[in-house]
Amino acid sequence: MKDALEQATSGGGKVSRDWGAIAPAVLVFALLALGPLAAEAYGGAYLTSLLMRMMLLAIAAISLDLLIGQGGMVSFGHAAFIGLGAYVAGIMITEGAADLAMILPMAIVASTVFAVVTGAISLRTSGVYFIMITLAFGQMLFFTASSLSAYGGDDGLTLWERSTVFGFDLLSSNVTLYYLILVTLIGAYALVGALVGSRFGRVLRAAKENPTRVEALGFSVFSYRLTAYVIAGVMAGVAGVLMANQAEFVSPSTLAWQRSGELIIMVVLGGMGLRNGALLGAVALVALEETLSSITHDWRLIFGPLLVLTVLYAKTGLAGVADAWVARLWRRA
Amino acid sequence: MSTTLLLIQLLNGLQLGVLLFLIAAGLTLVFGVMGFINLAHGVQYMVGAYLAVAFYGVTEHFLAAMVLALLAALAIGLALEFLVFRRLYHRDHLDQVLATFGVILFLNQAAKTIFGPTPLILPTPEWLDGSFLLVEGLLYPWYRIAVIVAGLAVAALLYVLVRHTKVGMLVRAGAANPQMVSALGVDIERLFMIVFGFGAMLAGFAGVLAAPIFSVEPGMGDDLLIVAFVVIIIGGIGSIKGAFIAALLVGLVDTLGRTLATDAMKLFFDVSSANQIGPALASMLIYILMAAVLFFRPTGLFPAKGMA
């Protein structure tokens, strides 16, 4: 039991090298890999697109957890990066530069620039003020998107084709796009896992506990945090590029503040700073929304109180529960 | 840009500022005194507006509907405090954001389910119906003037309450140092409840005042809530004075920005770019203002917490 407790609380480090720690994620990835097959049997294109949306939100949530769970930086404007990536893709496809080899670097540059500028300003503040200033930057981007009348303005922008990959028309098939998204998701999960286990991650976590002491040890807390902010922003930007391709539609609602709130819910519901937290949170939230909305049109009447109850009574998040299960199985085996 | 139009926009800005103050006052106190982020505060504004419409349907009398709506808003606020929020004061900010987000989803959906998705209208009371000649050739509705006056009156009342009563003193002390107030033997739980109920009622009041001007619809408080947060961040969390000044500032900047931005941009760009940049810039203006304030003063203009 002590071992399980250690796993649940350490949130990285030696745990990331432990197979038991990533077992829940591997299970999720394996199930997701079967998604297109399941869609053949039932659900069809609807199930595929639902699962793709789920995976893209999971990428964004995983990147957000690097900020919240590891760095203690509660960004309330993370959807802005998804929107940035989505709009870069949307605009470039509309303008005829539809190849992913051009769109991806452009989206990465755009996210990096936005993250460096807004991060450098936001990181002057902390706590609640950080939450609100990231929200402010998110809103600025939201209104910029709404005013792009050449690209749909408030109504959004419909894309008539998807990106090509080095000139090949691979993504017009939902199955290829599906597996590209899955691979990106696994990559994002692995990248954040590696970062968490590295020296970089340790400094970030230490700065969350006690920034003054970390500063006194000779680290620049600001640079570490800004680096994390940029990495998370770029990851969400890449998710945005894929999201534009998946939905074949981009609109300001992609970066509305409610979307940023949803990402935070995923992270907290899943378990902040835990290896599988954001992933499980995203999967559970999208699945729950889908199930409830298929039961009743007024599903928010159930979802709202459910959220309140989860916060009040389930304090470790889903990943905490999953970790405890895995630990129990491990000991029995 | 004529002076008449400018005058109208000044009045409209003042009116928005006053409404924002009514919402922000409760928000900043709850935030400052209890360290509690209440995203559901915007829903209290919506609840006030819907209650006014509902009670007007029964009483057919504006003032009666307003009084009943205020009492009901107070009751709903206290019920929420008792059922949910009370358990969250000692929790992490993130938990608070999440749980109150759940409350928003529930109440917005409840409003939609009960009253339907179509916007409702609360008629202006007859004795305030009509307009007066503001300047030559320009009418301004009496009701909007009444909103400004009512808002300023509440602001003055709040000032007296907070500055010159015992409860007000405790609230101020609570915003500056809650542990110390509690250590001195004040029942901080009861203080919290009073502040919370009062804040909910003020937001409800703003909703009632706004109901005849804006359409009453589910989610009407969501965007205003974000603007109210901008107000209390600019003003400094926990400061009523800061909230008042920042609310008027934000109201004026937002309203004047929307009329002036496009013209201002025409000085720098050609007409078609200006027509595109102008409205975008106008919507962003308050967020730029907030980012700028935080850049120079990371805890707002009038921070209530002393050295901490």
> What integer pLDDT is reported at residue A115 of this predicted model?
95
- The rounded distance, in Å, linking the Cα atoms of A14 and B230 is 42
* Encoded amino acid at A46, one letter: Y
- Highest-pLDDT range among B85-94, B160-169, B196-205, B278-287: B196-205
> What integer pLDDT is reported at residue B152 of this predicted model?
92
Q: In this predicted model, what pLDDT tens digit does every residue of B223-246 receive, in sequence order?
A: 888 899 899 889 988 888 899 999
Note whether B269 contacts A: Cβ–Cβ < 8 A. Answer: no
User: Which chain B residues are Cβ-neighbours of A133 within 8 angstroms?
Assistant: 233, 290-291, 294
- The rounded distance, in Å, linking the Cα atoms of B97 and B41 is 11
Higher pLDDT, A23 or B178: A23
What mean pLDDT do residues B88-115 have?
Answer: 88
For A307, the closest of B98, B291, B295 (CB atoms) is B98
Mean pLDDT, chain A, as a whole number? Answer: 86
> What integer pLDDT is reported at residue B304 of this predicted model?
67
> What integer pLDDT is reported at residue A113 of this predicted model?
96
Going A295 to A47 to A91 to A240, the CA torsion angle's sign is: positive
Nearest to B234 by CA among B160, B297, B161, B147: B297
> What integer pLDDT is reported at residue A116 of this predicted model?
95
What mean pLDDT do residues A170-194 have?
Answer: 91
Note whether B233 contacts A: Cβ–Cβ < 8 A. Answer: yes
Quick one: residue A169, left, alpha or beta (phi over 0 = left, psi -120 to 50 = alpha)?
beta
> What integer pLDDT is reported at residue A234 of this predicted model?
96
Q: In this predicted model, what pLDDT tens digit does every residue of B13-59 receive, in sequence order?
A: 999 999 999 999 888 888 877 778 888 898 999 999 999 999 998 88
Q: Do A74 and B93 touch (CB under 8 A)?
A: yes
Distance of CA B51 to the CA centre of its chain: 17
Distance from CA of B223 to the nearest CA of A (A): 9
- Reported as a pLDDT band with limits 50, 70 and 90, residue A1 is very low
> What integer pLDDT is reported at residue A279 of this predicted model?
92
Q: Percentage of residues in chain B with pLDDT exceeding 70?
A: 97
- What's phi and psi for A136, nearest 5 deg? -60, -45
Q: Which residue of B has its CA nearest to A148?
A: B276
For B113, the closest of A127, A144, A301 (CB atoms) is A301
- The rounded distance, in Å, linking the Cα atoms of A268 and A251 is 26
- The rounded distance, in Å, linking the Cα atoms of B102 and A191 is 31
- Reported as a pLDDT band with limits 50, 70 and 90, residue B305 is low
> What integer pLDDT is reported at residue B94 of this predicted model?
83
Q: In this predicted model, what pLDDT tens digit does every residue of A208-237 receive, in sequence order?
A: 988 999 989 989 999 999 999 999 999 999
Write the CB contacts of B121 (distance below 8 Å, at least 6 apart in sequence).
B53, B211, B212, B215, B216
What mean pLDDT do residues A125-149 have?
Answer: 86
The answer to whether residue A2 scores a pLDDT higher than 50 is: no
- Reported as a pLDDT band with limits 50, 70 and 90, residue B172 is confident
ipTM for the complex? 0.80
Distance from CA of B276 to the nearest CA of A (A): 6
Q: Which residue of A has its CA nearest to B99?
A: A308
Q: Do A25 and A275 meet the contact criterion of CB atoms below 8 Å apart? A: yes
For B290, the closest of A124, A126, A136 (CB atoms) is A136
Q: In this predicted model, what pLDDT tens digit does every residue of B176-219 receive, in sequence order?
A: 777 888 888 888 888 888 888 989 999 999 999 998 888 888 88
- Reported as a pLDDT band with limits 50, 70 and 90, residue A3 is very low
> What integer pLDDT is reported at residue B1 of this predicted model?
52
Note whether B82 contacts A: Cβ–Cβ < 8 A. Answer: no
- Reported as a pLDDT band with limits 50, 70 and 90, residue A13 is very low
What mean pLDDT do residues A97-107 have?
Answer: 90
- Reported as a pLDDT band with limits 50, 70 and 90, residue A16 is very low
Q: Do B105 and A311 touch (CB under 8 A)?
A: no
User: Which residue, among A311, A315, A318, would best test binding to B if mutated, counting the most B CBs under 10 Å from its CB?
Assistant: A311
Higher pLDDT, B38 or A3: B38
- Reported as a pLDDT band with limits 50, 70 and 90, residue A183 is very high
- Reported as a pLDDT band with limits 50, 70 and 90, residue B279 is confident
Q: For chain A, which residues make up each domain, given as ranges?
A: 22-255
For A307, the closest of B101, B222, B229 (CB atoms) is B101
- Reported as a pLDDT band with limits 50, 70 and 90, residue A240 is very high
Q: In this predicted model, what pLDDT tens digit does every residue of A266-286 receive, in sequence order?
A: 998 888 888 888 999 999 999
> What integer pLDDT is reported at residue B291 of this predicted model?
83
For A264, the closest of B94, B103, B112 (CB atoms) is B94
What is the full DSSP assignment across B124-147?
A: PPGGG-SEEEEETTEEEEHHHHHH
- Reported as a pLDDT band with limits 50, 70 and 90, residue A103 is very high
Higher pLDDT, A288 or A22: A288
> What integer pLDDT is reported at residue A309 of this predicted model?
87
